[in-house]
Amino acid sequence: MLLCLRIENFALIDQLELEFGPGLNVLTGETGAGKSIILDAIDAVLGGRVSSRVIRTGTSRAMVEATFTSTPPLTAWLSEQEIDLLDENSVVISREITATASNIRSRSRVNGVLVNRQIMGGLRDRLVEITAQGQTVQVGQSAQVRDWLDLYGGNSLMQQRQKVSTTFTAYQQAHLALEKRRTSERERLQQFDLLTYQVQELGAANLSDSQELEQLTQERERLNHIVDLQQLSYKVYQALYQNDHESPAAADLLGDSEATLNHMVEYDAQLQPLLDLVRDAQTAVMEVGRQINAYGEDLEADPQRLEEVEQRIQELKQICRKYGPTLTEAIAYYQRIQGELAELNDTEQSIETLEQQEKACFEKLTQASEHLTQLRRKAAANLESRLLSELKPLAMEKVQFQVEIVPISPTTAGSDKITFMFSPNPGEPLQPLTEIASGGEMSRFLLALKACFSQAGTAGTMVFDEIDVGVSGRVAQAIAEKLHQLSQRHQVLCVTHQPLVAAMADRHFRVDKQTINQSKSKKANNGNAEQRTVVRVTTLDNLTTRREELAQLAGGKSATDAIAFAESLLLQAANHRRQEQN
């Protein structure tokens, strides 16, 4: 229940503090007096959209603060959000709206704790339900009507709707995976063909040794210089071992040196190490001579092998140009694409598998949606009966009402399009409510609808903004009694122009505009005062003031007949309340 509302610099309100009570709270006043501004402030403090126009002209900051009584479920929910109660029974919500050069900023607090829009949305659903003439548009929106019906259907229906939402998400993911695979299948096949060709080409190249190209290059140089190598090896052989010319070979010179040193050692044993070195050198030279001679004799031209080497070198260079630039990198690329080709050839996630997964998810979604539709039809039949009974006291005894449920493609909220169908006159066909209902009929329909939902909802305060527009006489009286009936289960705030409704109030507020003198800013000349319009609210807490206000609503002035009519309304309202209590 809303206990107190404090407003600062909001639209035409400079300072205002209202204390509401249980039961039916009514706000009356002339058209344009500012009644809706108060409801706008309630909407704003609970997270509704605001613009810079809500900040009072001449100021840069607006503030709205609302104090509500708490309930055990609300206390538990606040605890889940890590918000403590200020005391055992109350919750204080505030919103500060500040204007800047380019935009506006707002901050919401619950019991002093800064909260985001999501928390404010959850809190709003638990505290207040606002019904206004603008909801005529919502009645024509299938999604909104569906949400209302689901809420009316209770926990079992809402749980099934959540199950549908979960299965729809699973189906959507399976469908997207399939579409993604289908879209990429052509690219996959192209990539598969390319990698298959490359793997075959690299496999045929028999790449195993990253040094092969260098080794082949060296072998080619040897094969290209066989004759030179033969000649040079023979020349070395002659120089070291056996010279065909008159000059001695190195082995001969070392032999002479050995003989000389051997003779010298006979006289000086200290030369023995030198003799050993010469002998070793002679042995080494002779060994080199024999090996170089054998090397030269083994050399022979091999044009066929040279051609093979040249071809292999060209093949490896071509591989390096395409997959390198080095042979080491080409071998690494070959190893990598073998793995990629295996992945592309993996059939675990084939299109057929994904199609089966999508089909299975769609079947689950269809089954869940069908069950949800069954629950909705049951709730719809209940709502039809209940709503017609709520409409009868509102002078709509002969209307027809039906919740039309038409199948559509599955969505996250099921596969139903829901429309409220209505016929105000016997013999006339059912048509969409928004296309056929008059303003007065729509007002009564919304009131009856909220009466049906009042037991299913969790909000403790119900707000009605001119729900009685377009009606008068007996219908206005029926609306007044229905509002009072609702106020026995919920706190009701109502803006009205109907004296019949206002007379039923447990707490009555008069809203009007006043012109006051306000000091100009210091920049103005001489500090003169300027006139400003403000909204003022008066609590009508005695019989005289209430009677005068009802007379104003009924006759436009406090004439004798109007006063008498007002007194009769108050007496009638008192009698009605006593009858309900009994």
pLDDT at position 102, please?
75
Q: What is the mean pLDDT of residues 273-298?
A: 86
Q: Name the pTM for this structure.
A: 0.63
C-alpha–C-alpha distance, residues 130 and 453, integer Å: 13
* Residue 169 clears pLDDT 90, i.e. is over it: yes
Q: What is the mean pLDDT of residues 434-458?
A: 76
Tokens representing residue 118 in the block: 């999501």
Q: Which residue, among 53, 58, 62, has the nearest Cα to 106 in the 3D structure? A: 62
pLDDT at position 399, please?
87
Q: If pLDDT is split at 50, 70 and 90, which confidence band does 525 have?
A: very low
* Residue 453 clears pLDDT 90, i.e. is over it: no
Q: Are 502 and 496 in contact (CB under 8 A)?
A: yes
Higher local confidence (pLDDT), 104 or 519: 104
* Residue 135 clears pLDDT 60, i.e. is over it: no
Determine which of 193-197, 478-482, 510-514 has the lowest per-residue pLDDT on average.
478-482
Q: How many C-beta neighbours within 10 Å does residue 165 have?
A: 16
Q: Which of 226-235, 250-259, 371-380, 568-577 has the highest mean pLDDT?
A: 371-380
Higher local confidence (pLDDT), 237 or 377: 377
C-alpha–C-alpha distance, residues 62 and 9, integer Å: 5
* Exposed/middle/buried for residue 25 (C-beta within 10 Å: 0-12, 13-18, 19+): buried
pLDDT at position 524, please?
45
* Chain centroid offset of residue 176 CA: 17
pLDDT single digits (tens) 526-581: 455 678 888 888 999 888 888 888 888 877 555 566 677 767 777 777 777 677 66
C-alpha–C-alpha distance, residues 363 and 210, integer Å: 57
* Residue 522 clears pLDDT 60, i.e. is over it: no
Q: What is the mean pLDDT of residues 117-144?
A: 77
Q: What is the mean pLDDT of residues 508-514?
A: 89
The DSSP annotation for 351-391 comes to HHHHHHHHHHHHHHHHHHHHHHHHHHHHHHHHHHHHHHHHH
pLDDT at position 144, please?
81
